[in-house]
Amino acid sequence: AVLTDAGTPVTMWGRRAEVVAQLNAGVNEEYLPELRLPGAVRATTDPAEAAAGADVVVLALPAQTLRTNLEAWGHVIPAEAAVVSLMKGVELGTTQRMSQIITEVGGVEAERVVVLSGPNLAREIAAKQPAASVVASRSATMAERVAAACAAPYFRPYTGTDVVGTEIAGAVKNVIALAVGVAEGLGMGDNSKASIITRGLAETMRLGSALGGEEVTFAGLAGVGDLIATCMSPLSRNHSFGVRLGQGMSVEQVVAHTRQTAEGVKSSTAILDLARHHGVDVPIIEQVDAMIRHDRTAAQVAAALLSRPRKAETG
């Protein structure tokens, strides 16, 4: 819808014929029933048909499925197209960022990869509520091509060059939103949530910088901007997942309750692995991982974080 409102013709790909038929009728009952897609949006179950002649190919999949998808149909991506990642996750096992998988498995040169990230909760975007975002690429030309393609009256993209920082900020904020949700589920207030958000930003900056990201990115839309939106909004799937954990549901119970993707649940483990590999201290991410993989309770992880040795804020 954003692309179409920006004047860019769109063909979507979907796996299920019944969903594609709905999209061609302008609705997606299962995911965003309140959205009416512009009539110009077309959909198909054939990835080659969707990608044919495209200047821009946008990849919006659950992060852990990107590799298998690209293995199946990555070859249909046109050789000159900008390839945009909307995904905010890190791959389990390999600890690869999405742009790395696009390059490695999709065979797309790094210069053609563009990462879009920012405070962009789907339901608000669908309602055409104004929002800004970052499109980052090694190539200023590719970033500008994508910004021009998605600049709609209510959607304002800023260009950037920091692919690593933008991706790390987008992935880590989901894990911090889980932690904030847990605090809310435990009945904690805004001081607690603001403290987790701020210390979560410190973890994001430490890890992102260790991987080559730029500090200015973490202070921007993909960093602080998305952290605030995701950690504070009941529309965030990660936040809501955390609230249910904090209220005492098990991970399995919350998963059974959640139809859409909460990226932080799986990515927390991959991000923790990445941090350990680079010797970066990430206590909040560590505790989220402990809840998800090791059945630690919300009360236990809260106590663990609050009983850490005191330290300098900038340490």
Q: Which residues are annotated as a binding site for substrate?
A: 88, 237-238
Q: Is 229 in the site for ligand G3P (CB under 6 A)?
A: yes
DSSP, res 309? P
Annotated binding site for NADPH: 15-16, 31, 88, 122, 237, 263
Kindly identify the residues of this chain, within the stretch 19-78, that bind ligand NAD according to CB under 6 A: 31, 60-63, 65, 69
> C-beta of 238: minimal distance to ligand G3P in Å?
3
Can you list the alpha helix ranges (DSSP code H) found in 74-225? Answer: 98-104, 122-126, 140-150, 163-185, 190-210, 215-218
Rounded to a whole number of angstroms, the minimum distance from the CB of residue 264 to ligand G3P is: 7
119: contact with ligand G3P by CB under 6 A: yes
Q: How far is the CB of 88 from ligand G3P (least distance, A)?
A: 5
Show contacts with ligand G3P in window 169-198 (CB under 6 A).
174, 177
Q: Note whether 238 binds ligand G3P by CB under 6 A.
A: yes
Rule CB under 6 A: choose which of 8, 120, 268, 287 binds ligand NAD.
120
Q: Which two tokens stand for residue 118?
A: 């920012």
Q: Is 228 helix (H, G, I), strand (E, B) or coil?
A: helix
Task: Find the shortest distance in angstroms from Cβ 253 to ligand G3P.
Answer: 18
Angle CA(234)–CA(237)–CA(241) in degrees, nearest 5?
90
Segment interacting with ligand NAD (CB under 6 A) among 46-54, 181-189, 196-204, 256-264: 256-264
DSSP state of 26: T
Nearer to ligand G3P, 20 or 226 (CB): 226
Q: Is 128 labeled as catalytic in the residue annotation? A: no
Among the listed residues 173, 193, 266, 311, the single catalytic one is 173
The contact mask relative to ligand G3P for 31-70 (x = CB under 6 A, - = no) is ----------------------------------------
| Residue 209 to residue 198: CA distance in whole angstroms | 16
Task: Please tell me whether residue 9 adopts helix, strand or coil conformation.
Answer: coil
Burial of 29 (0-12, 13-18, 19+ CB in 10 A): exposed
User: How many secondary structure helices (H) and strands (E) does the chain include?
Assistant: 16, 7
275 binds ligand G3P (CB under 6 A): no
C-alpha 9/C-alpha 43 separation (Å) is 11
Please report which helix (H) or strand (E) contains residue 244, including its range.
helix 237-246
For the chain, the residue count is 315
Q: How far is CA 122 from the centre of its chain?
A: 11
Residues found near ligand G3P in the complex (CB under 6 A): 88, 119-121, 174, 177, 226, 229-230, 236-238, 263
Catalytic residue set: 173
